[in-house]
Amino acid sequence: MFHALVAVKQVPDTTNIRIDPETGNLIRQGVPTILNPYDAHALAAAVEWKERLGGRITVLSMGPMSAISSVRECIELGADRGIIASARQFSGADTLATSYVLAEMIKRIHEKDPISVLLFGKQAIDGDTAQVGPGVSIRLGFPLITYAVKIHEINLKEKTLVAERKSEQYNEVIQVPLPCGITCEKEIASIPYASLPNLVHSLKYEPEVWTAEQPIAFPPDQIGIKGSPTTVFKTTQPELHTAGEVINTADTGVAPAVKTAIEKIEAAGILDMPEGCA
């Protein structure tokens, strides 16, 4: 039976982030949180394959309890089971501690209900690290296809999956044995419309909550801040660049503005503009 597990993260919508100009800190208040966009596409791929093969989809998210809304969104789109890993002890985790918790939980899920495919977004937009997918897969010993743009085939009998990824030189079509991990680009699948029954179901759906003690008792030194080798030493605001001169074509006309621009580029010695260009 086909069983896809999708790891999803709830993230602040980074387009709407504002910084306190006095303190340089993030103003979290009023910043909406969203399901990480790449994860939504990973889920969409799982939904497509569930339609073809039958089976089910589990979503797993580590984060504060507010992640319930992201998990409900996944149920709406076609996931069957939602689990939230939420505990004070998990907080402050870097990608190593995150991949540890997710991998341990996935092992537990896998024992009872074997997983065919693990799906991740290519990266989470709050940190853009793209490390959790590879981290979890290597911990589980699953072969991994990153930056997948297309799943060509999932063969449950042969226990193989064929997917395509884009690297700098090639589009690589790769075959891996199941179970495997995949990190997804947006092209992998488009987000489906939620069906009415799913919508209704998701409103009442209560995800399972797993803590640092239940059902897995995590060693405290492996999780959260204690289990994270990296720490933020300091944060600053991006350097402000000084704006250069601005010419308005409404004042000068187009041709003279362009002439000035070419002169300045030449004068900066940056371009070997053709001699006599300006």
Ligand X SMILES: Cc1cc2nc3c(=O)[nH]c(=O)nc-3n(C[C@H](O)[C@H](O)[C@H](O)COP(=O)(O)OP(=O)(O)OC[C@H]3O[C@@H](n4cnc5c(N)ncnc54)[C@H](O)[C@@H]3O)c2cc1C
Taking CB under 6 A as the criterion, which residues in 100-129 touch ligand X? 125
Q: Return the residue of 14, 25, 155, 237 that touches ligand X, per CB under 6 A.
A: 14
Contact 224, 93 (CB under 8 A): yes
Choose among 176, 114, 113: nearest CA to 144.
176
Residue 120 binding result from ligand AMP, ligand X, another protein, none, given CB thresholds of 5 to 8 Å by partner type: ligand AMP
Binding site for ligand AMP (CB under 6 A): 7-9, 36, 38-39, 60-63, 95, 98, 102, 120-121, 123-124, 127-133
Q: Does 195 bind ligand X (CB under 6 A)?
A: no
Which candidate, 125, 123, 120, places its Cα nearest to that of 15? 125
End-to-end C-alpha distance for the chain, whole angstroms: 71
> Which residues, at least 6 apart from 157, have a Cβ–Cβ distance to it below 8 Å?
none
* Residue of 22, 111, 217, 240 that binds another protein (CB under 8 A): 240
Taking the complex as a whole, the smallest distance from the CB of residue 121 to ligand AMP amounts, in Å, to 3
Smallest distance from ligand X to CB 5, Å: 24
Least CB distance to ligand AMP at residue 7 (A): 3
Q: Which does 235 bind (CB under 5 to 8 A by kind): ligand X, ligand AMP, another protein, none?
A: another protein
Q: Which two tokens stand for residue 135?
A: 């981290």
Asked if 58 and 83 count as a contact pair (C-beta separation under 8 A), the reply is yes
Of 85 and 161, CB closest to ligand AMP: 85
- Whether omega before 179 lies within 30 degrees of 0, making that bond cis, reads yes
Taking the complex as a whole, how short is the minimal distance between the CB of residue 29 and another protein, in angstroms? 15
Within residues 138-177, the interface with another protein by CB under 8 A covers 138-139, 143-147, 162, 166-177
Determine contact, residues 92/224, Cβ cutoff 8 Å: yes
168 binds, among ligand X, another protein, ligand AMP, none (CB under 5 to 8 A by kind): another protein
Q: Which amino acid is at 234?
A: K
Residue facing ligand AMP at closest CB distance = 121
According to the binding rule CB under 6 A, does residue 169 interact with ligand X?
no
Per rule CB under 6 A, count of chain residues that contact ligand X: 3
Closer CB to another protein, 199 or 265, in the complex:
265
2, 156 in Cβ contact below 8 A? yes
Helix (H, G, I), strand (E, B) or coil at 200: helix
With b for 16 or more beta-carbon neighbours within 10 A and e for fewer, the 216-240 pattern comes to eebeeeebbeebbeeeeeeeeeeee
Say if residues 101 and 63 touch (Cβ distance below 8 Å).
no
Query: What stretch of H or E contains 223?
Result: none
Q: Which does 36 bind (CB under 5 to 8 A by kind): another protein, ligand AMP, ligand X, none?
A: ligand AMP
Instruction: Check residue 248 for interaction with ligand X (CB under 6 A).
Output: no
For binding to ligand X (CB under 6 A), which residues are involved? 14-15, 125
